[in-house]
Amino acid sequence: MAAGAEPGPEPGRVVEALELLLRPPGGPGPGSEDALRPETLRSNAAALEERLRRAAGWAALRGLRRAVLARAPALAAGVAGDAEPGWAAACGLLALLLCLKERLLALAALPAARGAGPGAAPPPGADTLSVGQGRAVGRALRAAVGLGLAPYLPPGVGQRPGPPAPSPLPPAARGARLHAATAALAELAQHPALGGPLLARHLGLLLAGLCLLGHGPAAHSEGVSEAERARCREALRHILDRVYQPLAVRELLILQGRPKQSPPSPGEETKPALVRAPAWLRRLCGQLLSERLMRPSGVQAVVRGIMEGTGGGTGAEAAAVDWRKCDTVAKILASCPQQCLSLEDYYRLVCPQILDLLHIQDKLTARQFQRVATTTLLTMVKEHPQLAEKHLLQPLLAPLLRCSESAELAVEDLSAGTVLVTEAELGSCVEDVLKVYVVGNDSSSLLLGSLQSVLGVVFSLYSFAKQNVSYLRSPCQEILLWFLEKSEREVSLSVLEGFAGLNSSVHALHPRCRFRAGSEGGATIVVEETISDEDEALYQKVSSEQCRVESLVELLSHCQKSGLAGDFFIRCLKALTHVAAEDEEDSKLAAVPGGSLLELEQYHARQRRKLLVLQLVATLCENVSDTVFTDVAQVEEFVAATLQRACVSSARGPGAAAETQTLAMAMGLVAAMLGGAVQLQSGDFAVLKRLVPLLEELSRTYPEPLTQELAADLRIAICTHGAFSPGTVGAAADDVLGKKPGTGTQSPASIPGGAPSPGGGRALSQHGHSSPSAPRERSKEQSVSHEPGTTGPAPAPCADSPAPAELQELLVSAYDPQPPSRAAALRHLSNLITQRDPEALRFQEKLLQVFLENVQHEDAFVYLSAIQGIALLSSEYPERILPVLLARYRCPVQGMEDTAAAITRMKLGEVLMRVTRALGDMVFKHREPLVQAFLQGARDPDGALRASSLSNLGELCQHLGFQLGSIVQEVTSCLTAIAKMDPEAEVRRAAVHVVVVLLRGLSEKATEVLQDVLRDLYRLLKHVVVAEPDSATVLHAQLALEELDAVMRRVLFPPQALEKKIVVLP
């Protein structure tokens, strides 16, 4: 069209022409596009031609249309000729859409209109379509594709369901029409306003047409020149590079179709089958997909193209669960395409993008992407270990390797304060390691070896996070535990020794690197200046080793079930044996003057290792629980290590008290096992026979005769499988089983199938170590303690009739000055009450007095044991015991300090609550005395006792089912007074909490049970919300008001329930 001939048509005029061409016979409405039958299309085309020729204002559109058709002869022939209505309508639509494109381009070239003024929104561009016009253009594009492109695609190209409709056109005419429609659509795709809806909805069919014309067999492109085919290939590349890459990947996958026709699944037999794509199209789509993959960010595009079809929400969650789909994507990414000439080049290009998939922040897709990335990485590690280690594992672990002591980075050349690893980088690295190693859960040797190279840094970070507030503590702990679980036992033990500093199996943090707390809860790694002060450097080293040992012991506390903690403990004991063997030699070397510098350094290294072993064993003994050993084999190794150390040190005379105690405990442990504490099988005796040579040597060389005798008797008992057990073995077993606290063994009563020993009920010995003569010495001490004028434990209270000897021994031990012995005796008495022992129940008053006196003891283990005994005794005889307890609770013992009296009353309150729980529904009989006692305690001068009494009152109300009866007025009055007037915030908080418990427990019944005091409680809560200075009390009051509001709403506005009723009419 010549410039300046006449103004072009407005876009609205072109859109009006499009609507006229697609007008249904009955006018616009729902489903109007489905009513476009051939006669309708023919009449619409005639109406459009008539309006173009005669209507006023349509001349500009007629001229523009004529110019567009002059450049597209195939479209002009379809409009002017006698073609079938569908092709003629498609040609008319494409011509009008090309006209619209020309006008939009011309309007966009005009200078922009001046704005309305400052602060006003800018006016829309002249080439902008309205919403209605956009919808009309979308309908026109859909009709043009459906009428001009889809009918001329062969079966299998474009995945059209069902067999193609037969066409009478010759192949040359089909090819020409397909090229005309495809070329016009490709030209429309270049404009933003028209290409957006076209590529968003019809990209697959457009790509199918361009693939067929540019790369398909010559039989499908007859009538198309080679230059036109080259332009189609160029248009295909341009469109694929321009569109959203995940969309391009998805459409290419759809074009490629299924690799082979699979049988229909249930429920799909009635659906039309999809024709399989031809081989040339499958190969072409594979090449194009490989090109998409090799582009920058191509990995993410491929993953999104496959996984984004779920649409988010529930679908995204379902796709994350569908591991098969994720594994399929991982196999695609792990396979090198044929277009890539070098496998290493492919890994160099793709591996960084795979690691980037681990950092997706979108919550809907992060889980899918992380699974794909982890599975791809593990697949690559299996298929090509060397390349995967170079391009995946080393970049993944780079921040941790950078600060390791084995790093090639010259840390000494860096200035102090240099940030070696930033907080974001370190946090991302730890999270990536967790995802790949722990979540991936593949224990291949390459993965374990690569992780071991940074375990020292991870452990140092774990120790740092343990001392500070950091979110890195949990992931570091999971990484360390995963490695220890998946590695072989020897490797795990060696790594644990490396953590403790006993060997160099792991590379620790560089000496000049330190962790610093980050601003986001993480950590950074910085270079610190070398400490010049020797004292400060020594302090830093000692504190660092102490922290490292404590962190190691805490880590081992999570490894007890697997037996790793027990094996490591045994290894440390064996190292302690070597320390004992080397002590004498090292002392001789240190005494010889004139040694070389190398020998001196080796001596100091050995001394450092000895100190580390001693510190580690001491920390393990203090912190690891008594379940560290999981089987008889570990117990045997522990005893063997102890006996070996005793044999080594026996030549130097009797050992220290600690060594003697350890030896007595080990031998007593074997005696307890032989005495029936555990059920031993034939295989267990085969394990215990490994101790026979050590016991024999100990029986010959140990300086103490009693220990020699016990060692010989244990050897005999093991060799005879327990058939012959001398008396010393039974005595040692009894002594160990009596030492339940702190010995790590179970008492016979707590071991299923274990037969209790005759002396199993005796109390703990007060000696520093156990020996075969311990029972005899203990009985002598007890007999002496009863003589008048002797000093010793206070005698138990007298009874009318003498108690049996065993019970009398327990009563005496209940007053032992040593808390473990006293607590053990109280526990045994409680067990007798639980077993309803007739002798113990006959002396219930004496037992109650013993328990009440021990409640006042300051040791927690003692008074808790006494509380348990009183609770058991009260549940058996509530009518006799409860009045005594309530009297003691109301009126403490005279002559006692106020603080001690308050503490004793709080302990008695705990006893009363345990009795209340044990009584169950029978507590209603004792409702009023209990409530009165707690109300009296709520008025005590001691604030802690007042708060404790209120807490007990709330729990009592729960056990009573909130059926307070006539005392509800007293309870609410007390709560109101305390909540308003009590000077301590903790007590006021407890009073309001009781109100919350009442309202929450009563629920809808609150209006009935509390009908007389409900208004007072409401006013109390409002007063607390307005006037209370304590925020926690205000929070409790707000919760109570919310609960009261919910209750009143349910009462005033009950839910409407629809019920069916059958009424029988008379």
Checking if the pLDDT of 5 tops 80, the result is no
The average confidence (pLDDT) of the chain is 76
DSSP code of 787? S
- Considering all CA atoms of the chain, what is the largest pairwise distance in Å, rounded to the nearest integer? 139
What per-residue confidence (pLDDT) applies to 274? 58
Instruction: Reply yes or no on whether the pLDDT at 240 is more than 60.
Output: yes
User: pLDDT digits over 174-233, tens only?
Assistant: 888 888 899 999 998 988 888 889 988 989 899 998 998 889 888 887 878 889 899 999
Alpha carbons 455 and 449: distance in angstroms, whole number: 10
Residue 260 has a pLDDT of 58
Per-residue confidence (pLDDT) for residue 120, from 0 to 100:
62
Most confident of 49-63, 303-317, 460-474, 785-799: 460-474
Secondary structure string (H, E, C) spanning 405-435:
CCCCCCHHHCCCCCEEECHHHHHHHHHHHHH
Q: In the structure encoding, which two tokens stand for residue 1028, read together? A: 């209370």
Residue-wise pLDDT tens digits, 12-46: 888 888 888 888 876 555 444 545 677 888 888 88
Segment 528-544 shows an average pLDDT of: 74
Q: In the predicted model, what is the mean pLDDT of residues 532-552?
A: 78
Q: Return the percentage of the chain with pLDDT > 90, whole number.
A: 7
Higher pLDDT pick, 1046 / 197: 197
Of residues 813 and 208, the one with the higher pLDDT is 208
| Residue 238 pLDDT grade (very low, low, confident, very high; cuts 50, 70, 90) | very high
Both tokens of residue 912? 């009363």
Q: Are 812 and 795 in contact (CB under 8 A)?
A: yes
Helix (H, G, I), strand (E, B) or coil at 788: coil
CA distance 509 to 512: 8
Among 564, 440, 543, residue whose Cα is nearest residue 495: 564
Q: Stretch 847-874: mean pLDDT, rounded? A: 82
Beta bridge partner(s), residue 514 = 526
Q: What does pTM read for this prediction?
A: 0.60
Query: Which residue has better confidence, 780 or 337?
Result: 337
CB-based burial label for 338 (10 Å; 0-12, 13-18, 19+): exposed
- 710: confidence class by pLDDT, cuts 50, 70, 90: confident
For the segment 433-453, the average pLDDT, to the nearest whole number, is 90
Given a cut of 70, whether residue 973 has pLDDT beyond it is yes
Alpha-carbon span 208 to 232, nearest angstrom: 11
| Virtual torsion, Cα 182, 233, 208, 187, nearest 10 deg | -30
pLDDT of residue 1058: 73
Q: In what order do the strands lie in the sheet with 419-421?
A: 419-421, 523-527, 513-517
Q: Per-residue pLDDT for 684 more than 80?
A: no
> DSSP readout, 3-40?
TTSSPPPPHHHHHHHHHHHT--TT-S-TT-GGG--HHH
Q: Is the pLDDT of residue 553 over 60?
A: yes
527 pLDDT exceeds 60?
A: yes
* pLDDT at position 316 over 80: no
User: Coil, helix or strand for 276?
Assistant: coil
Phi, psi angles (nearest 5°) of residue 509:
-65, 145
pLDDT surpassing 70 at residue 266: no
